[in-house]
Amino acid sequence: MQLQENIPLAPLTTFRIGGPARFFVEAQSAGDVQQAATFAQSKNLPLFVLGGGSNLVVADNGWPGLVLKVAILGIEQRLGHNDEGKTIFDAGAGEPWDRFVSQAVMAQCAGVECLSGIPGSVGGTPVQNVGAYGQEVAQTIESVEVFDLKDGQVRELCPEACGFHYRSSLFNTSERGRFVILRVAYALTPGGEPHLAYADLQRHFEGRETRPNLAETREAVRHIRARKGMLIVAGDPDSQSAGSFFKNPVLSESQYADLERRASAKGLTLPSYPGLTAQSLENSRKVSAAWLVEKSGFARGYGFGHVGISSKHALAIVNRGEATAAEVLALKDQIQHRVEEIWGVHLEPEPVMLGF
């Protein structure tokens, strides 16, 4: 384990914002994770686990404790199938997520093709139950291997134990900060058809006579994401972001009715989306946060000091160069305030805030 001091965190995030970590360690194995945890405990330092830094806003003053970057690599396809005929892939938490998706698609295994192009690491995906275009990792995760910081044990969590919901799991709610994810096993469908449930994807393939295969679906998803600034492309000014800054609100029946009333009073039609995982609210509806942001006066390309809204997607706050975390938070507050005032809906930020 190589301990480093005062390491700038901004270059380790997609937002490229924020101060340094007082201590920094890159862990290539479970043993490294254990040593880092022991070091943090012995010095009474707060520990933060870093993946690909793609869902993160780091405070301008940085982080006064230890940042543990998980760099455990390796993707293995197990021989044979499980009881349900699925092929199991074991992936190290430090593997780039999109490399894993590419490998699964090349092996003709379905289940994650719609999650192509999402930045970050394999280990980051269970944390907020990553999802896009009608798929989310809760549908394919077989198990998650973790290092438990509470007792120093390595254990395997089944999907039920992970408590997956829309953009949440026990890793970012009830047990936040307790587990370091070491590996994730995904159960994929060999020879399976691509999932083409979302309108964007259906439009992309409109007029085609043959059904697209997994590789074509992956390319289509990456193409659609690039158009929306949701793919990291070197040199694209809209790429310096943490992706969607707000979660799509999940509303109860009465909240939804109230929002619809407000929209129709303005002569507007409210777009809503099918939910994915079982939600705690019965008859709940997921509405578009991007729509709420745009209809509150924050158009694409909106500028605010060194930050702004992506010119391609209303939901992404972008760093236009030299931005500070304080500016990001000020814009976030402004958006939340206006959306609540006009639509009566509270927008919850999606990225993790570190050091505030």
Ligand X SMILES: Cc1cc2nc3c(=O)[nH]c(=O)nc-3n(C[C@H](O)[C@H](O)[C@H](O)COP(=O)(O)OP(=O)(O)OC[C@H]3O[C@@H](n4cnc5c(N)ncnc54)[C@H](O)[C@@H]3O)c2cc1C
Binding site for ligand X (CB under 6 A): 14, 48-56, 70, 93, 118-121, 123-125, 127-128, 130-132, 171, 179-181, 230, 232, 241-243, 352
Cα–Cα distance between 83 and 125 in angstroms, integer? 24
| Closer CB to ligand X, 50 or 329, in the complex | 50
Structure tokens at 356: 């505030």
Shortest distance in whole angstroms from residue 81 CB to ligand X: 27
**How far are the Cα atoms of 249, 269, 338 from residue 262, in angstroms, in the given order?**
16, 10, 14
**Please, what is the end-to-end C-alpha distance for the chain in angstroms?**
28
Active-site residue, 282 included: no
| Closer CB to ligand X, 20 or 343, in the complex | 20
Structure tokens at 200: 């964007």
Shortest distance in whole angstroms from residue 229 CB to ligand X: 7
Task: Determine contact, residues 112/127, Cβ cutoff 8 Å.
Answer: no
Q: Which residue has the tokens 């809503």?
A: 272
How far is CA 215 from its chain centroid? 22
Rg (the chain; Cα; Å) = 21
CA-closest candidate to residue 340, choices 285, 275, 269, 262: 262
Shortest distance in whole angstroms from residue 80 CB to ligand X: 27
Kind plus residue range of the DSSP H or E element containing 7: strand 4-8
Residue type, 224: I
Shortest distance in whole angstroms from residue 76 CB to ligand X: 17
Active-site residue, 244 included: yes
Cα–Cα distance between 89 and 79 in angstroms, integer? 9
Active-site residue, 225 included: no
Shortest distance in whole angstroms from residue 8 CB to ligand X: 15
| Closer CB to ligand X, 98 or 327, in the complex | 98
Catalytic residue (one of 116, 239, 244, 296):
244
Catalytic residue (one of 16, 167, 183, 225):
167
Contacts of 207 (CB under 8 A, 6+ apart): none
| Closer CB to ligand X, 55 or 296, in the complex | 55
| Closer CB to ligand X, 242 or 345, in the complex | 242
The C-alpha angle with vertex 136 and arms to 135 and 140, in degrees rounded to 5, equals 100
Question: Which active-site residues does the annotation give?
Answer: 167, 244, 350
